[in-house]
Amino acid sequence: MSMKREWGFGITAAALAILFLSPLVWSGWASLRTGSGFGLVNYTRLFTSDNGVRPQHVLNSVTVSALTVGGTLFVSTLGGYAFGRFRFPGRDLLFLLTLAILMVPYATILIGLYVLLGWLGLENSLLGLSLVLIMFQLPFSVFMMRNSFEAVPRELEESAQIDGCGTIRTLIWIMLPAVRPGVVTVGLFAFLVSWGEFFAPLILLNSTDKFTTVLAVVNLRTASHGSIDYAALEAGVVFMAVPCLVLFAVMQRNYVRGFSSGALKG
């Protein structure tokens, strides 16, 4: 019975892997296909055409991703630590209100956020876009970090306090190493969202020099009748996917541990 169950799990896992990998494999195949065979011509057009991807677009995406990951980790770590390790009036209600943001479709508030960024002088800026993406990431990230901190034995924290560590030193030197898988998971999710986000940059950015890579890829067109160069677009899809695949492969072990101990706890 156990052997049949293992075979069943294996077949199911293989089917799911094929299902999720097939679009990426097809994109990679289409990006290399040319009229006479296979080559890197589509990637050349991606970076050399008039409306193609420029180094500035890649730098913009890296900047937005770095700001989003850093801001998300900073706020969610402090918030998760507070929710997970301290008792204060209204804690549970405040945590539920934080999670309630997940039920609000973010597309419905982007126009209001655009107006707000205008009041703050952050319209059409990478910093403003990063702040919006951080806000969208916080409910899930705080949830993950709270559960990660709650999974750490309190004896570890009490021992540090007995040795003279204050709250901040305990958080930095004792708690953060203990919740590293959760930190990696939150950071990886924040990067994936910010790197591939399309709708928020489309609404909040209106000058081509501020465009992120995904906007540059979507706007890639030939000069003939406005037709879309689908082969170059597939090259852009592969180019956008490579950093995500590399990061996931490098951090896979910590990601799985963090997701198991954080999102699935309680």
Do residues 78 and 177 both lie within one domain?
yes
34: exposed, middle or buried (C-beta count within 10 Å: 0-12, 13-18, 19+)?
exposed
145 and 261 Cβ atoms separated by less than 8 Å: no
Do residues 52 and 133 both lie within one domain?
yes
Digit-coded pLDDT (tens) for 60-97? 999 999 999 999 999 999 999 999 888 888 888 999 88
With a cut of 70, say whether residue 9 has pLDDT above it: yes
> Which amino acid would we find at residue 168?
I
146 and 83 Cβ atoms separated by less than 8 Å: yes
Do residues 75 and 128 both lie within one domain?
yes
Do residues 23 and 110 both lie within one domain?
no
Do residues 18 and 59 both lie within one domain?
no
Digit-coded pLDDT (tens) for 143-167? 999 988 988 888 888 788 787 788 8
Do residues 18 and 54 both lie within one domain?
no
Which residues, at least 6 apart from 193, have a Cβ–Cβ distance to it below 8 Å? 68, 133, 136, 137
Do residues 24 and 60 both lie within one domain?
no
Do residues 191 and 108 both lie within one domain?
yes
Q: For position 53, which CATH number holds?
A: 1.10.3720.10
Digit-coded pLDDT (tens) for 226-256? 567 788 888 898 999 999 888 888 887 766 6
The pTM (predicted TM-score) of the whole model is 0.87
Do residues 20 and 57 both lie within one domain?
no
Do residues 143 and 193 both lie within one domain?
yes
Q: The domain containing residue 29 runs over which residues?
A: 1-39
Number of domain units in the chain: 2
Do residues 10 and 90 both lie within one domain?
no
